[in-house]
Amino acid sequence: MQPKHSIRPLPNPEECQGYPPSMMMDKPDCELNFLLNVNNDNNSHHCLACSFILRGETLDSINLMSGEHLLSNSINHIDKTKPVIIVCHGSFSWRNQMLISNLASKLSIAMDVHTLRFDFTGNGHSTGEWKFGNLEQDYQDLCSIVDFVHSLGCEVGCIIGHSQGSASVLQCAARCATLEKQGLEIPCTKFVNLAGRYHSPSNDTSHKSFNQSHPLFDEDDMSQLKDIGYFYLKNTYGEERNDRFKITKEQVDKRTKRDTNQIMQHLQQSNTRIHILTIHGSKDEMVSVDNAYKFDRELASGNHILHIIEGAGHNFNGIKYHSSMVDAISSFVRK
């Protein structure tokens, strides 16, 4: 039987066609980039591209080489006394987006922890088919990453998700709450929701409400969706059309039926170790700050912290508000 996880080196980790280039301001002393082979229960497998910042190590100290065996040895010999913080990107994005990569780097320094960020299936360097609103697959990917961290003998200190990435993070939190209620071991107790959307199901077949809540798409996109059943995301990073991002009517219909309330009902008990921090910008142009206030109303009192950053947009203006974000996350995790 093949091992559930195996890794191999990832060449050219900072460049990926159709995505913005990596712009990490504070380069870590040791960052391992690799493809994680994930074997699913149905014997299918795919690869998740990962960037693992190892705190307290240097490339020289672990004698990193490009060989697969030595890469595996490098990861297996990390400092297991330090927890790992997992960071998840949002839609039409990847692990090296400015917000994600710099947040991972700054948290590693500020909290003296390892951080691991990865590309969801079909995004960035990860294999598999990209699908709009592929939330169930995102959740399975996150579970695989959590399982991988535990296989190294490390604790998962916190899981952070931005925008669409927060959906899988909250689903993971709900699963942990269920396991806790059953008296079973839980993989993580701290979760951070960055600019997440509170999904309410809609029966609007014209997709008008969907278009209004997703300003990235225009009327022409909605017309194509109605007439031919799909459209391509356009005007991204200098490209007239990004063929990687084909959005179908079936995917949109599935997304509009998403109901966050089904997840919230697992997170409304007060006597739990599961805690959630929501960070949202007051000037978010993609996901209204009203979503953050709704999360605060629906989550159990005492288990949720709401942190609004005045003036911040959906991507928190690159690195402009990182100090505030790092302070809020550090304080939350250490409580």
Higher pLDDT, 245 or 240: 245
Question: Domain residues of the chain, as ranges?
Answer: 5-201+261-334, 208-255
pLDDT band at 68 (very low <50, low <70, confident <90, very high): low
The per-residue pLDDT for range 3-50, each reduced to its tens digit, is 457 888 888 888 888 788 888 888 888 899 999 998 765 555 789 999
Is the CB of residue 291 less than 8 Å from the CB of residue 214?
Answer: no
The per-residue pLDDT for range 120-171, each reduced to its tens digit, is 999 999 999 899 889 999 999 999 999 999 999 999 999 999 999 999 999 9
266, containing H or E segment = none
Cα–Cα distance for residue pair 115/82, rounded to 1 Å: 10
Residue 205 has pLDDT above 70, yes or no: no
In the Cβ-directed half-sphere of 144, how many Cα atoms lie within 13 Å? 29
Cα–Cα distance for residue pair 38/118, rounded to 1 Å: 13
Instruction: Measure the CA dihedral 248/251/254/256, to 10°.
Output: -70
Is the CB of residue 161 less than 8 Å from the CB of residue 135?
Answer: no
Residue 206 has pLDDT above 60, yes or no: no
Among the listed residues 5, 10, 246, the one whose alpha carbon sits nearest the alpha carbon of residue 126: 10
Q: In what order do the strands lie in the sheet with 84-88?
A: 5-9, 31-39, 45-53, 114-118, 84-88, 156-162, 190-194, 275-281, 304-309
Cα–Cα distance for residue pair 126/49, rounded to 1 Å: 5
Is the CB of residue 22 less than 8 Å from the CB of residue 52?
Answer: no
* Residue 60: C-alpha distances to residues 31, 63, 65, 287 (Å): 12, 5, 10, 43
* Architecture of the domain defined by 5-201+261-334: 3-Layer(aba) Sandwich (3.40)
pTM for this prediction: 0.89
With a pLDDT cut of 90, the percent of the chain lying above it is: 55
Q: Which residues are 12's β-sheet partners?
A: none
